[in-house]
Amino acid sequence: MINFIDATQNSDFSGDIEQGTQEQYLLSDSMDAALDRWVDGTFAPGAAKKPTKPLNNREKRALNALSNNPIMRENLDMVAGCSNAPELVACLRRRGLEVPCFRVERYDKDGRVCYPGRYELTPEDRPLVRELLGCK
């Protein structure tokens, strides 16, 4: 059960919460602020955000590779010089890029069907990529 508390009221809540209960209390003004950020797009994936720190070398190599063509996850590991391309892509997404991953049908060494991921930039990502890489 979730109880909502209006934090804008100057009330004493000390008697409202019994010790040992498992109920969650949420502040309604915090939720309103969170919903406002969701509605204005600052929580939405792909929402353009100003980068707070410069790209690291792995991010630069990944964006350069993605700018040319879609790239398979294993190849992105090699190109970027990392061993966890999904985390690298997650970092790029936190910078405001969408970078969707599409599952494509392939065959493994044993001839079984598998579905590895292929990353690519969206048309909306490209202007932000140029900005991040310092291209005009």
What's the confidence (pLDDT) of residue 136? 67
Q: What is the mean pLDDT of residues 15-22?
A: 45
Nearest to 65 by CA among 34, 88, 95, 36: 88
Is 31 part of a structural domain of the chain? yes
Q: Which CATH number fits the domain that encloses residue 73?
A: 1.10.10.10
Based on the domain organization, do 14 and 77 belong to the same domain?
A: no
Give residue-wise pLDDT tens across range 60-76: 999 999 999 999 999 99
Is 94 part of a structural domain of the chain? yes
Spatial CB neighbours of 79, under 8 Å, sequence gap ≥ 6: 61, 62, 65, 71
Is 24 part of a structural domain of the chain? yes
Is 52 part of a structural domain of the chain? no
What's the confidence (pLDDT) of residue 28? 41
> Domain range spanning residue 113?
57-133
Indicate the residue type of 32. D
Please state the domain count of the chain.
2
Is 117 part of a structural domain of the chain? yes
Nearest to 45 by CA among 93, 88, 89: 93
Give residue-wise pLDDT tens across range 68-121: 999 999 999 999 999 999 999 999 999 999 999 999 999 999 999 999 999 999
